[in-house]
Amino acid sequence: MKAWRVVRPGRDIAAALELQDAPIPEPASDELLVRVRACGVCRTDLHVVQGDLPVHRPQVVPGHEVVGEVTAMGGAAAGFHPGDRVGVAWLRNTCGQCRYCLRGAENLCPYSTYTGWDADGGYAQYVTVPAAYAYPLPAGYSDEQAAPLLCAGIIGYRALRRADLPAGGRLGIYGFGASAHLTAQVAMAQGATVHVVTRSAAARTLALRLGAASAVEDHDSPPEKLDASILFAPVGTVVPEALAALDRGGTLAIAGIHLTDIPALNYAEHLFQERTLRSVTANTRADGHEFLGLADRHRLDVSVTPYPLDQAPTALRDLADDRVNGVAVLRVP
């Protein structure tokens, strides 16, 4: 099979990645073998390729928004059958026994592993996944449209929950890429007023088309105070601005796995009046099933820019340079 491997993590994406011939992996006893049809290109992939995240698996195959078909199963794998369409997401495994797992917070498990970081992911023609961590996918979405639901959608849903948005509240979204454009739709479906702040003119146009009440340029303020906000852009300098735009009791959730340094905060301006700053660490499988159920009930408008598998470096460069409107997705032959 063909597979992209991160051979030299660094800022030069073309030098970091290498397209190789590799054997089709064998599923372990509890795993599915999945023939990949589509794989979303996530900003976390960019952090893996460019070395923003430490190397967990040398020469890993990135990609964790995988849609494919089950072609083989280990003897202990259950819940799926050969021929099923299945989703492979970021969270690959947890211990199931630590205090975090036992209290329903498996996303905090210190022994958790991740697709495309600890194990080979979907920038390839085949991938394996533990059956207990694979997802059935809602009908009505093409393979390319379903792929972003598996991380952009799920982690955005987790971030929305962490933001504690009250019913009918005012939500700020900072950065408007793959995850944000799905999260905005979920929030609006739940009755929220959404205000978007992003440097991309195309993203502002998309935000307004999807129903945002406003979409302003980077460093501009939303037109009203916000009950909650989510920071999707991995830019720490935005944190003070986002906190200052919150109303009393508001919460800012930071959705990304990587963030540049946050400047010093002024207590009175940024945190007083019970404003809250929260991080988001991966997601639980419960988050994934809840979000995919919601996506089944409420048809989401998934804005996709497709690339062939052999153009993965181009897709990542376009993502890094904010040239992707919506979600970049690799089509896998």
Per residue in 58-84, pLDDT (tens digit) is 999 999 999 999 999 999 999 999 999
Per residue in 157-180, pLDDT (tens digit) is 999 999 999 999 999 999 999 999
Domain boundaries, the chain: 2-151+283-331, 154-279
pTM of the predicted structure, to 2 decimals: 0.93
Q: What is the 3-state secondary structure (H, E, C) of the chain?
A: CEEEEECCCCCCHHHHEEEEECCCCCCCCCEEEEEEEEEEECHHHHHHHHCCCCCCCCCCCCCCCEEEEEEEECCCCCCCCCCCEEEECCEEECCCCCHHHHCCCHHHCCCCEEECCCECCCCECEEEEEHHHEEECCCCCCHHHHHHHHCHHHHHHHHHHHCCCCCCCEEEEECCCHHHHHHHHHHHHCCCEEEEECCCHHHHHHHHHHCCCEEECCCCCCCCCEEEEEECCCCCCHHHHHHHCEEEEEEEEECCCCCCCCCCCCHHHHHCCCCEEEECCCCCHHHHHHHHHHHHHCCCCCCEEEEEHHHHHHHHHHHHCCCCCCEEEEECC
Q: Please determine, for residue 219, whether its predicted confidence score (pLDDT) is greater than 90.
A: no
Query: Would you tell me which CATH number, out of the four given (3.30.70.2860, 3.40.640.10, 3.30.465.10, 3.90.180.10), belongs to the domain 2-151+283-331?
Result: 3.90.180.10
Please check whether the two domains, 2-151+283-331 and 154-279, share a CATH topology: no
Per residue in 41-64, pLDDT (tens digit) is 999 999 999 999 999 999 999 999
**Which pLDDT belongs to residue 326?**
81
**Which pLDDT belongs to residue 322?**
86
**Which pLDDT belongs to residue 90?**
98
Q: Does domain 154-279 have CATH number 3.40.50.720?
A: yes
